[in-house]
Amino acid sequence: MPVGTQATVKGLTPEQLRQVGATLLLANTYHLTLRPGDDLIAEQGGLHRFMAWDGPILTDSGGFQVYSLALSCKISDQAVVFRSHIDGALLELTPEKAMAIQENLGSDIAMCLDECPPAYSSPEQLREAVRRTIHWAERCRMSHRRSEQGLFAIVQGGTDLDLRAACARALIALDFPGYALGGFGVGEAPDEMLAALPATAALLPADRPRYLMGVGRPEDILAAVACGLDMFDCVLPTRNGRNASAFTSDGPLRLRNASYKRDSRPLESGCQCYACRHFSRAYLHHLFLAKEMLGPILLSLHNVAFYCRLMAEIRQAIRAGRFAEFRSVSLARWGVTL
């Protein structure tokens, strides 16, 4: 899922996203209720009409902001209270309000409010986050009203497999349409996450969508797919694009490097995105040195195209029974060792 936190994937139009194969976007409850307001979006016909996206949308609950804005929020069993990063106003987010906001937004998939603890939290902090996540999931389930909107629960527990198992069991008993793994990619070493993923993914029902939240390095996606996970989101494609870094099937390119000054090749041979069909590495190198806004736009477009193509190739490899081979060849081309 390309990330459209503020009801937009940075620098890209909905038509461009469709052309490169994006089918599902992510938007954020916390940010959209602060600005422009979920009531205003509902008044405008819902999030799909507001942002002119006719495909499905998943909205995060605001639970990740419990982690990312930890210094400006207070948390209790009743609610998490944020101080707005925009104007300092207080926002109280309860499980019930998180559901009401997402129903107002009209997303196709809503996420339960959860507590996302940072990496290397104490055992007591992890246990408390798991207990509260389960409690909030129960309240989300009870207050959720839109039957056409899928509601996913989020399994927490850090890299503690016993806590992850306890959290998963409690949430599976509530029978959600889908399940997510949260609390990865929040400061732990990549090797620690990858070591915990197989057992953690195995806890989730195989007949429901299984979503790994906020993890998006290509090699991590391949590792997670090998564990049975289905859905991913990450800001890397557009963030790296804005910073002159392109993903390709032969590994990353840093377009500010002087070696590209006279390079007439496209970013990636065979890529059919607009950037690769029309522009050279030399031109893109020039755009970034000149600080022209077209450079970040073109690289963001290419990177989203790369990720959409990667996911399509993964699906094809699974159907053909050759995913392990595909993973091995891809990692070798990217210069990544298992």
Q: Which two tokens stand for residue 326?
A: 């595909």
User: Final residue of a domain: which of 196, 211, 234?
Assistant: 234
CA distance from start to end of the chain = 25
Catalytic residues: 60, 233
On whether residue 57 sits in a domain, the answer given is yes
| Structural domain that includes position 307 | 239-334
The model's confidence at residue 214, banded by pLDDT at 50, 70 and 90, is very high
On whether residue 106 sits in a domain, the answer given is yes
> Looking at the structure, do residues 143 and 67 belong to the same domain, yes or no?
yes
Distance, CA of 77 to CA of 200 (rounded, Å): 25
147-206 pLDDT tens trace: 999 999 999 999 999 999 999 999 999 999 999 999 999 999 999 999 999 999 999 999
Whether residue 141 contacts residue 151, with contact meaning beta carbons closer than 8 Å, is answered with yes
259-314 pLDDT tens trace: 999 999 999 999 999 999 999 999 999 999 999 999 999 999 999 999 999 999 99
Distance, CA of 94 to CA of 133 (rounded, Å): 12
Q: Which two tokens stand for residue 312?
A: 């399509």
On whether residue 133 sits in a domain, the answer given is yes
On whether residue 146 sits in a domain, the answer given is yes
Residue 280, Cβ density class (10 Å: 0-12 exposed, 13-18 middle, ≥19 buried): middle
> Looking at the structure, do residues 88 and 211 belong to the same domain, yes or no?
yes
Kind plus residue range of the DSSP H or E element containing 232: strand 231-232
Q: pLDDT value at position 70?
A: 79
Q: pLDDT value at position 129?
A: 95
12-50 pLDDT tens trace: 999 999 999 999 999 999 999 999 999 999 999 999 999
On whether residue 3 sits in a domain, the answer given is no
Q: pLDDT value at position 66?
A: 75
> Looking at the structure, do residues 213 and 324 belong to the same domain, yes or no?
no
* pTM greater than 0.85: yes
- Does the structure show a pLDDT above 90 at 61? yes
On whether residue 175 sits in a domain, the answer given is yes
On whether residue 1 sits in a domain, the answer given is no
Whether residue 313 contacts residue 326, with contact meaning beta carbons closer than 8 Å, is answered with yes
User: Final residue of a domain: which of 217, 234, 251?
Assistant: 234
> Looking at the structure, do residues 95 and 110 belong to the same domain, yes or no?
yes
What rounded mean pLDDT belongs to the chain?
96
Count: domains in the chain: 2
83-96 pLDDT tens trace: 888 998 999 999 99
The model's confidence at residue 71, banded by pLDDT at 50, 70 and 90, is confident
On whether residue 9 sits in a domain, the answer given is no
